[in-house]
Amino acid sequence: MSERTEPETARVAPRSGVFAWFARSRPTRPGETYGVPGQGDTLVLSLLTIALLIFVWWAVTAAGLVKPLFVPSPLAIVQKFADVWTNGFTGTPFWQHVAISAARVFGAFLLACAIGIPLGLAMGMSPVMRGIFDPPIEFYRPIPPLAYLPLMIIWFGIGETSKVLLIFLSVFAPIALGARAGVRSAAIEQIHAAYSFGATRWQVLRRVIFPSAMPEILTAMRIGIGFGWTTLVAAEMVAATKGIGYMVLTASQFLQTPTVIMGIVVIAAIAYAFDMLMRFLERRLVPWKGKM
Amino acid sequence: MALEVQNASVVYPAAAGRPPVEALSQIDLTLDEHDFVVALGASGCGKSTLLNLIAGFLAPSSGRIMLDGASVTGPGADRSVVFQKHALLPWLDVRENVAFGLKLQGKGRQAAYAVADKYIDLLGLKGFESSPVYALSGGMQQRVGIARALTCDPRVLLMDEPLGALDALTRERAQELILRIWQQTAKTVFFITHSVEEALFMGTKLIVMSPRPGRVAHRFDLGFSRQFLDGTPARRVKASAEFIELREEVLRIIFADEEEAA
């Protein structure tokens, strides 16, 4: 009978052991909401993880566990960066490699925005446009750019056109589809209210549906530019003499591993910086996102 | 008269083995100048369908809607709508939201804001002109919605359960505010609600609607809002024997109709 005399609270106390976390959540502190999945700040953990990864990398190379040909030390990457920064790569200054790659990616990105956003909105607004453009976009979207790269070259040559077009295609689909989905963001009450104040269809599109779709369009732009950077190296595989992708590919052919890693880090850094800029723009342009 | 619904029916066509559904059956309704007509009824009785007809979002299957002698063929600024929620534009601040209708009609910014400020003042939103609407409480958001609809100076103001999402206390204050504004602006109002008390307190005319098919089952002429506007406190109006008696009668009718339809 001893179990019966146990205090009432014992039944709700968390079980001990590995699975206690799964069994029951403890009450939260004031200012937090009970049961919100994954709440809490992550900055410290993220910084620690980065520091740990670099430390392990350094320790492995410093101990000589892996040959520098496979994994050069972090310091070697920094040195390579300094070297390329001052002396350039294959006779071209470093900034030109960065500039030409950025021009290709951002050029393709702007083109994709200029065409993809209006087209996506039109597809969201009109079944005719959706009927016409949905099949081709959905058909080519899942194909890896490397698969149609040869076609791009056959059709458009080995100049800038095929490079920018390849990146454009990879950016275009997510942006167009994001804009199309964004059309659905406007509440029907917002649309009806506008019509009841005498709005025309065009006014509803411009003043209600387009602003409502802005959060989704901005998210689609972030996703789209990500695809653009992914495609950069593929685009610079053919007949390029400048660009970060070209630099990485050339270095890999000569087994210059530090340059390869350095190029990857540079691409990641630019992409990350641009994403930060987009997030900043998001906070400025759509501070109301998710609030109504 | 301002607006007339003449023998209007709405029939949803038969689909997938089901017979056609008559959402509204032969509705006759007249909104005279400065009327406050309240539509009351359980869910599915066609209140919102009726409002959509008057607003011009929906065309009647038969019958017609006449506004000042002309047939209604679509939505327009002479019948602006206040919704329960989700109808404000969060990328615009309070003043821009209120001026939204006027801007749509091509009014210049200066002129539109001047009118907007007048209604912002009327709805007690002074000092919040530049606030983002998503930062406001539900009650204040509804006041922005009402101000916005009034700036268009509509012939008929359509209100689709405008207070349905507010808490009980805010709701009573908002009822009083709407009545005062109705008196000051001399608008003609069509107002939908679920609340019997709200319907009796606010309306000059009450239609009690009944489902399957949606129709006007009962009509009452009301004078409680007049009592309030003549100075009797709202709670005293709502607690009067006359009010309570009618409230219970209307509730009885609604429940009886429900059982009959079920």
Q: Do B133 and A203 touch (CB under 8 A)?
A: no
Q: Kindly identify which residue of chain A lies nearest to residue B87, measuring between CA atoms.
A: A190
Cα distance between residue A92 and residue A115, in whole Å: 33
Query: Is B82 exposed, middle or buried (CB count within 10 Å of its CB: 0-12, 13-18, 19+)?
Result: buried
Q: Do A192 and B87 touch (CB under 8 A)?
A: yes
CA distances from B150 to B35, B63, B144 (A): 16, 29, 10
Min Cα separation B124/chain A (Å): 22
The predicted complex's ipTM stands at: 0.91
B91 and A CB contact within 8 Å: yes
Give Cα B48 distance to the centre of its chain.
10
Long-range contacts at B141-145 (CB < 8 A, ≥ 24 apart): B141/B85, B141/B88, B142/B82, B142/B85, B142/B166, B142/B174, B143/B174, B143/B177, B144/B88, B144/B94, B144/B97, B144/B98, B145/A193, B145/B82, B145/B83, B145/B87, B145/B88
Residue of A197, A286, A291 with shortest CB distance to B152:
A197
Single pTM value for the model: 0.85
Residue of A189, A194, A291 with shortest CB distance to B104:
A194
- The H or E element that residue B38 is part of is strand B36-40
Identity of the residue numbered A63? A
**B82's tokens:** 């206040």
Residue of A192, A198, A291 with shortest CB distance to B104:
A198
Q: Do A194 and B148 touch (CB under 8 A)?
A: no
A288 CB neighbours in chain B (<8 A) are 90-91, 132, 134
A287 CB neighbours in chain B (<8 A) are 132
Cα distance between residue A18 and residue A214, in whole Å: 45
Min Cα separation A120/chain B (Å): 21
Per the CB < 8 A criterion, the answer to whether A276 and A269 are in contact is no
Residue of B56, B85, B132 with shortest CB distance to A288:
B132
Q: Is B82 helix (H, G, I), strand (E, B) or coil?
A: strand
Per the CB < 8 A criterion, the answer to whether B134 and A288 are in contact is yes
Q: Kindly identify which residue of chain A lies nearest to residue B157, measuring between CA atoms.
A: A196
Give me the tens of pLDDT residue by residue for chain A, a chain 292 residues long. 445 555 555 455 555 666 766 776 778 778 777 877 877 788 999 999 999 999 999 999 999 888 888 999 999 999 999 999 999 998 899 999 999 999 999 999 999 999 999 999 999 999 999 999 999 999 999 999 989 999 999 999 988 999 999 999 999 999 999 999 999 999 999 999 999 999 999 999 999 999 999 999 999 999 999 999 989 988 998 888 899 999 999 999 999 999 999 999 999 999 999 999 999 999 999 998 888 7
Per-residue DSSP letter, B232: -
B109 and A CB contact within 8 Å: no
CA distances from B48 to A75, A228, B158 (A): 71, 48, 10
Task: Say what the pLDDT of residue B60 is.
Answer: 92
A208 CB neighbours in chain B (<8 A) are 89
Q: Do A292 and B90 touch (CB under 8 A)?
A: yes
